[in-house]
Protein backbone atom coordinates (compact mmCIF):
# COMPACT_ATOMS: atom_id res chain seq x y z
CA UNK A 1 0.00 0.00 0.00
CA UNK A 2 1.57 3.27 -1.11
CA UNK A 3 -1.28 5.61 -0.26
CA UNK A 4 -0.95 9.10 1.09
CA UNK A 5 -4.23 10.90 1.73
CA UNK A 6 -4.82 14.64 1.87
CA UNK A 7 -7.80 16.70 2.96
CA UNK A 8 -9.45 18.80 1.79
CA UNK A 9 -9.13 18.36 -1.97
CA UNK A 10 -10.08 21.97 -2.60
CA UNK A 11 -9.97 25.00 -0.34
CA UNK A 12 -11.01 28.60 -0.88
CA UNK A 13 -10.05 31.06 1.82
CA UNK A 14 -9.89 34.77 2.41
CA UNK A 15 -6.73 36.54 3.41
CA UNK A 16 -7.89 36.85 7.02
CA UNK A 17 -8.94 33.22 7.44
CA UNK A 18 -7.19 30.45 9.34
CA UNK A 19 -7.33 26.98 7.82
CA UNK A 20 -5.41 23.72 7.98
CA UNK A 21 -4.36 21.14 5.44
CA UNK A 22 -4.08 17.54 6.58
CA UNK A 23 -1.98 14.64 5.35
CA UNK A 24 -1.93 11.03 6.51
CA UNK A 25 0.10 7.95 5.63
CA UNK A 26 0.12 4.44 7.04
CA UNK A 27 3.22 3.07 5.34
CA UNK A 28 5.42 3.38 8.40
CA UNK A 29 7.40 6.16 6.77
CA UNK A 30 9.32 8.40 9.14
CA UNK A 31 9.95 11.29 6.73
CA UNK A 32 7.12 13.54 5.58
CA UNK A 33 7.19 16.51 3.24
CA UNK A 34 5.14 19.54 2.20
CA UNK A 35 5.53 20.90 -1.32
CA UNK A 36 3.96 23.87 -3.07
CA UNK A 37 3.34 23.64 -6.80
CA UNK A 38 2.29 26.35 -9.23
CA UNK A 39 0.66 25.45 -12.53
CA UNK A 40 3.01 23.84 -15.06
CA UNK A 41 5.97 24.12 -12.67
CA UNK A 42 7.81 21.50 -10.62
CA UNK A 43 6.97 21.12 -6.94
CA UNK A 44 8.91 23.33 -4.54
CA UNK A 45 9.91 21.85 -1.21
CA UNK A 46 8.59 23.72 1.82
CA UNK A 47 9.20 21.53 4.87
CA UNK A 48 10.64 18.14 5.79
CA UNK A 49 9.84 16.27 8.98
CA UNK A 50 12.09 13.45 10.06
CA UNK A 51 10.97 11.28 12.99
CA UNK A 52 8.34 13.91 13.82
CA UNK A 53 10.88 16.70 14.07
CA UNK A 54 11.23 19.54 11.61
CA UNK A 55 14.50 18.97 9.77
CA UNK A 56 14.19 21.29 6.77
CA UNK A 57 12.41 24.63 6.42
CA UNK A 58 13.06 26.13 3.02
CA UNK A 59 12.73 29.71 4.24
CA UNK A 60 8.95 29.51 4.11
CA UNK A 61 7.01 32.58 5.36
CA UNK A 62 5.65 32.25 8.88
CA UNK A 63 2.06 32.41 7.61
CA UNK A 64 2.64 28.71 6.86
CA UNK A 65 3.05 26.66 10.03
CA UNK A 66 3.70 22.91 9.83
CA UNK A 67 2.90 20.42 12.53
CA UNK A 68 3.59 16.70 12.87
CA UNK A 69 1.37 15.35 15.69
CA UNK A 70 2.57 11.77 15.20
CA UNK A 71 4.44 9.62 12.72
CA UNK A 72 1.38 9.20 10.47
CA UNK A 73 0.02 12.73 10.38
CA UNK A 74 1.26 16.00 8.96
CA UNK A 75 -0.63 19.28 9.09
CA UNK A 76 -0.05 22.63 7.46
CA UNK A 77 -1.68 25.54 9.26
CA UNK A 78 -2.47 28.57 7.11
CA UNK A 79 -3.01 32.10 8.38
CA UNK A 80 -3.15 35.49 6.68
CA UNK A 81 -2.27 34.09 3.28
CA UNK A 82 -1.78 36.17 0.16
CA UNK A 83 -3.34 35.58 -3.27
CA UNK A 84 0.09 34.50 -4.57
CA UNK A 85 -0.07 31.56 -2.15
CA UNK A 86 -2.78 30.03 -4.33
CA UNK A 87 -1.32 26.75 -5.56
CA UNK A 88 -1.49 22.96 -5.33
CA UNK A 89 -0.10 21.77 -1.98
CA UNK A 90 1.33 18.29 -2.06
CA UNK A 91 2.23 16.08 0.84
CA UNK A 92 4.68 13.21 0.47
CA UNK A 93 6.26 10.56 2.65
CA UNK A 94 9.25 8.25 2.42
CA UNK A 95 11.39 5.94 4.44
CA UNK A 96 14.21 7.68 6.25
CA UNK A 97 17.74 7.44 4.94
CA UNK A 98 20.60 9.18 3.24
CA UNK A 99 21.69 6.64 0.69
CA UNK A 100 19.39 7.78 -2.14
CA UNK A 101 18.15 4.23 -2.52
CA UNK A 102 14.85 3.03 -3.93
CA UNK A 103 13.46 2.62 -0.43
CA UNK A 104 13.65 6.39 -0.07
CA UNK A 105 11.17 6.96 -2.87
CA UNK A 106 8.78 9.75 -2.00
CA UNK A 107 5.10 8.86 -2.39
CA UNK A 108 2.76 11.77 -2.91
CA UNK A 109 -0.81 12.43 -1.95
CA UNK A 110 -3.43 13.80 -4.37
CA UNK A 111 -2.86 17.36 -3.20
CA UNK A 112 -5.01 20.24 -1.99
CA UNK A 113 -5.85 22.96 -4.49
CA UNK A 114 -5.83 26.21 -2.54
CA UNK A 115 -7.33 29.48 -3.75
CA UNK A 116 -6.73 32.61 -1.69
CA UNK A 117 -9.11 35.47 -2.42
CA UNK B 1 23.51 25.52 -12.99
CA UNK B 2 20.41 23.36 -13.17
CA UNK B 3 20.85 19.95 -11.65
CA UNK B 4 18.05 18.34 -13.66
CA UNK B 5 17.36 19.36 -17.23
CA UNK B 6 14.35 18.29 -19.24
CA UNK B 7 14.74 19.88 -22.66
CA UNK B 8 11.34 18.93 -24.09
CA UNK B 9 8.56 21.21 -22.82
CA UNK B 10 6.04 19.18 -24.82
CA UNK B 11 5.96 15.88 -26.67
CA UNK B 12 3.35 14.28 -28.89
CA UNK B 13 3.01 10.58 -29.63
CA UNK B 14 0.53 8.40 -31.46
CA UNK B 15 -1.32 5.82 -29.42
CA UNK B 16 0.46 2.43 -29.29
CA UNK B 17 3.81 3.94 -30.27
CA UNK B 18 6.85 4.31 -28.02
CA UNK B 19 8.12 7.67 -26.78
CA UNK B 20 11.31 8.81 -25.06
CA UNK B 21 11.36 11.67 -22.58
CA UNK B 22 14.79 13.17 -22.03
CA UNK B 23 16.47 13.94 -18.72
CA UNK B 24 20.04 14.97 -18.01
CA UNK B 25 21.44 15.60 -14.56
CA UNK B 26 24.42 17.16 -12.91
CA UNK B 27 25.99 15.95 -9.68
CA UNK B 28 29.42 15.38 -8.20
CA UNK B 29 28.12 12.72 -5.81
CA UNK B 30 28.93 9.08 -6.53
CA UNK B 31 25.73 7.90 -4.84
CA UNK B 32 22.42 9.25 -6.06
CA UNK B 33 19.00 8.13 -7.15
CA UNK B 34 16.97 9.15 -10.17
CA UNK B 35 13.18 9.09 -10.17
CA UNK B 36 10.45 9.67 -12.73
CA UNK B 37 7.00 10.85 -11.73
CA UNK B 38 3.80 11.26 -13.74
CA UNK B 39 1.37 14.04 -12.90
CA UNK B 40 -2.05 13.91 -14.62
CA UNK B 41 -4.26 16.97 -14.70
CA UNK B 42 -5.84 15.75 -11.44
CA UNK B 43 -2.63 16.78 -9.67
CA UNK B 44 -1.38 13.63 -7.98
CA UNK B 45 2.32 12.88 -8.46
CA UNK B 46 2.60 9.20 -9.33
CA UNK B 47 5.94 7.44 -8.88
CA UNK B 48 6.89 5.50 -12.01
CA UNK B 49 10.45 4.24 -11.86
CA UNK B 50 13.74 4.47 -9.97
CA UNK B 51 17.37 4.12 -11.05
CA UNK B 52 20.24 4.03 -8.59
CA UNK B 53 23.65 5.36 -9.54
CA UNK B 54 25.25 1.98 -8.82
CA UNK B 55 22.66 -0.05 -10.71
CA UNK B 56 24.32 -1.75 -13.66
CA UNK B 57 21.09 -2.60 -15.43
CA UNK B 58 18.48 -0.20 -16.73
CA UNK B 59 15.37 -0.11 -14.57
CA UNK B 60 12.08 -1.40 -15.97
CA UNK B 61 8.55 -1.22 -14.56
CA UNK B 62 5.94 -2.62 -16.91
CA UNK B 63 5.70 -0.31 -19.94
CA UNK B 64 8.23 2.08 -18.42
CA UNK B 65 11.98 1.69 -18.79
CA UNK B 66 14.83 3.98 -18.00
CA UNK B 67 17.70 4.41 -20.44
CA UNK B 68 20.49 5.14 -17.98
CA UNK B 69 23.76 6.41 -19.45
CA UNK B 70 25.91 7.27 -16.46
CA UNK B 71 28.90 8.69 -18.35
CA UNK B 72 26.60 11.05 -20.23
CA UNK B 73 24.58 11.77 -17.07
CA UNK B 74 21.32 11.02 -18.77
CA UNK B 75 18.29 9.10 -17.52
CA UNK B 76 15.70 9.06 -20.26
CA UNK B 77 12.26 7.56 -19.68
CA UNK B 78 10.94 5.26 -22.39
CA UNK B 79 7.21 4.55 -22.50
CA UNK B 80 6.30 1.67 -24.76
CA UNK B 81 2.90 1.16 -26.38
CA UNK B 82 1.55 4.58 -25.39
CA UNK B 83 -2.01 4.80 -24.12
CA UNK B 84 -4.37 7.76 -24.00
CA UNK B 85 -4.09 7.65 -20.21
CA UNK B 86 -0.38 8.39 -20.47
CA UNK B 87 -1.17 12.00 -21.36
CA UNK B 88 0.25 13.94 -18.41
CA UNK B 89 3.19 16.01 -17.15
CA UNK B 90 6.31 13.93 -16.48
CA UNK B 91 9.00 14.99 -14.03
CA UNK B 92 12.52 13.67 -13.70
CA UNK B 93 14.00 14.07 -10.21
CA UNK B 94 17.25 13.33 -8.39
CA UNK B 95 18.09 12.58 -4.79
CA UNK B 96 21.75 12.99 -3.82
CA UNK B 97 22.95 10.83 -0.97
CA UNK B 98 25.80 12.93 0.34
CA UNK B 99 24.45 16.42 -0.08
CA UNK B 100 24.07 16.70 3.68
CA UNK B 101 22.97 19.83 5.47
CA UNK B 102 19.91 21.45 4.06
CA UNK B 103 19.92 19.18 1.01
CA UNK B 104 19.13 16.15 3.10
CA UNK B 105 15.84 14.61 2.03
CA UNK B 106 15.52 16.87 -0.97
CA UNK B 107 14.41 15.85 -4.40
CA UNK B 108 15.57 18.10 -7.20
CA UNK B 109 13.00 18.22 -9.99
CA UNK B 110 13.34 19.09 -13.64
CA UNK B 111 10.91 21.52 -15.29
CA UNK B 112 8.81 18.69 -16.66
CA UNK B 113 7.61 17.49 -20.06
CA UNK B 114 3.96 17.54 -21.06
CA UNK B 115 3.16 14.38 -23.01
CA UNK B 116 0.10 14.26 -25.24
CA UNK B 117 -1.00 10.92 -26.67
CA UNK B 118 -3.10 11.15 -29.84
CA UNK B 119 -5.62 8.44 -30.77
Q: What is the percent of chain A with per-residue pLDDT over 90, rounded to a whole number?
A: 81
Straight-line distance from the first to the last Cα atom of chain B, in angstroms, rounded to the nearest whole number: 38
Give the largest CA-CA distance in chain A: 43
B32-71: burial string, b at 16+ Cβ within 10 Å, e else: bbbbbbbbeeebbbbbbbbbbbeeeeebeeeebbbebeee
CB atoms closer than 10 angstroms to residue B107: 24
Q: Which residues of chain A have pLDDT under 70?
A: 1-2, 97-99
Q: How many degrees, rounded to 5, is the angle at CA A60 between CA A59 and CA A63?
A: 145
pLDDT digits (tens, 9 = 90+) for B7-48: 999 999 999 999 999 999 999 888 899 999 999 999 999 999
Whole-number average pLDDT of chain A: 93
**Residue B5 at interface with chain A, using a CB cutoff of 8 Å:** no
Q: Which residues of chain B does A33 touch, with a Cβ-Cβ cutoff of 8 Å?
A: 105
The predicted pLDDT at position B21 comes to 98
User: How many Cβ contacts (< 8 angstroms) between chains A and B?
Assistant: 76
Q: Using a CB-CB distance cutoff of 8 angstroms, which residues of chain A are in contact with residue B89?
A: 40
Q: Does B9 touch chain A (CB under 8 A)?
A: no
Chain centroid to Cα B37, Å, comes to 6
pLDDT digits (tens, 9 = 90+) for B46-99: 999 999 999 999 999 999 999 999 999 999 999 999 999 999 999 999 998 755
DSSP 8-state secondary structure symbol assigned to residue A85: G
Amino acid sequence: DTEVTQTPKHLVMGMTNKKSLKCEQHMGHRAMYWYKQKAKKPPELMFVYSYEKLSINESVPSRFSPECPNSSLLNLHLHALQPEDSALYLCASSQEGNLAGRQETQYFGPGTRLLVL
Amino acid sequence: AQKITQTQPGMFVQEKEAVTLDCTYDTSDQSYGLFWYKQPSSGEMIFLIYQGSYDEQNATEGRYSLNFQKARKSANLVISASQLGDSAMYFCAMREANAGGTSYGKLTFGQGTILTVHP
